[in-house]
Chains A and B, each alone.
Chain A
Amino acid sequence: MVFFEVEMQWNVLISPNELDAKGLLLQKAIIVHLMEEFANRKASKEHGYYVAVTSLNSVGEGKVRGLTGDVLFPVTFSCITQKPAKGEILQGSVEKILKHGIFLKSGPMESIFLPEKTMKDYRYVAGENPVFLNDKHSKLEKDTIVRFKVLGFKWLEYDRQFQLLATLAGDFLGPI
């Protein structure tokens, strides 16, 4: 999985009781608010998953909001993000086995579907713990590590995550 290090500019809202003349506490309040906001946003269609803030690069001039007295600070920071790319080869683990395919997860991406028809010679074997088997007795079961290729993906706005479609069609793909 390829991660990205990018610089972004967001606005952070600080309430009046957190404003401090000595500056250090204000700096801390800005960092804490930025981290919370970053964690809450989870992901966006444009940037992918928001993994971690790595550094706060600059804090601009604060603007006071008339009604509440809150101060809005523009901040520039570096962070790590992760976004899938079509055609990318990823590793993940088997989460759930269904008759018509397998659900995988890989890092922050939790909704990766590998349809039965893209799994080459693997066949569904029903049972209490269903598995997929091929002629060479290679097995896909819960928690198996799989190397797969991203066939496509879409952004789901209502739960703020990506849904991926995977395939095993290609050389050197499958359980490892």
Chain B
Amino acid sequence: MSGEEEENAAELKIGEEFLRAKCLMNCEVALILDRKYEQLQQLSDDPTNQISQVFEKSMQYVKRFSRYKNQDAVRQVREILSRYQLAEFELCVLGNLCPETVEEAIAMVPSIKRKGRIHEDDAIEKMLNDLSLIKKFE
């Protein structure tokens, strides 16, 4: 059913375009779309022309599923996750789903435990603790 036979996000076998592109977490997209929405209202007398269904549905979605709401917290999440040599795609999945345990993190992003990568359980646990601290102090 899939386009490319070998593609598998669990093993980080995703299209070249995914690996090269800058990935964004739900909470980052929520901040951008909020700002965009205001601009669109000002830009046009009839903003419905530019606010597509895709825009609207994405905005509803990221607002509902963002674990971090304020701008500082969102920035800190990326900063913390960036310390762990993750691919952009992995970073975003972790920041979106906020796993609570090491087992859950590995189930969500199996590629972080793949051979040859430095992610020991201790390192993953520290990363999850750091993330939950942001949530607590937000």
A-side residues, CB < 8 A to B, are 1-6, 28, 31-32, 35-36, 38-40, 42-43, 45-47, 49-54, 80, 82-83, 85-89, 91, 105-108, 110, 147, 149-155, 165, 170-172
Q: Is the CB of A106 within 8 A of B61?
A: yes
How many Å lie between the Cα of A1 and that of B13 in the bound state?
17
Q: Are A172 and B99 in contact (CB under 8 A)?
A: yes
Tell me, in angstroms, the Cα distance from A9 to B46 when the chains sit together.
25
A4 adjacent to B52 (CB under 8 Å): no
CA distance A47 to B32 in the complex (A): 19
Q: Does B96 contact A (CB under 8 A)?
A: yes
**Could you give, for residues 22-66 of chain B, a 1 whenever the CB lies within 8 Å of some chain A CB and a 0 otherwise?**
111110110011001000100110000111111101100110010
What residues of A have a CB within 8 angstroms of the CB of B108 in the complex? 89, 172
If A35-B50, A147-B97 touch, whether A51 touches B55 (CB-CB below 8 Å) is yes
Interface residues of chain B: helix, strand, loop or mixed (majority)? helix
Give the interface size bracket for B toward A.
35 or more
**Complex contacts, B68 vs chain A, CB 8 Å:** none
B1 engages A151 (CB within 8 Å): yes
Q: Which chain A residues lie closer than 8 Å to B24 at the CB level?
A: 2-5, 80
CA A39 – CA B18 in complex, angstroms? 22
- Shortest C-beta distance, A26 to chain B (Å), equals 15
Contacts of B33 in A (CB 8 A): 51-52, 80
Known contacts: A42-B54, A147-B97. The answer to whether A52 contacts B9 by CB under 8 A is: no
27 example contacts (A-B, Cβ-Cβ < 8 A) are as follows A3-B28, A3-B58, A4-B18, A4-B22, A4-B24, A5-B21, A5-B24, A6-B21, A32-B50, A38-B50, A51-B55, A52-B32, A80-B32, A83-B18, A88-B93, A89-B9, A89-B97, A107-B57, A107-B58, A107-B62, A108-B58, A110-B57, A149-B10, A153-B2, A154-B2, A155-B3, A172-B99
Q: Which residues of B contact A54 (CB under 8 A)?
A: 32, 36
The 6 A-B residue pairs with the shortest CB-CB distance in the complex, in nearest-first order = A152-B1, A39-B52, A107-B61, A87-B9, A87-B10, A88-B9
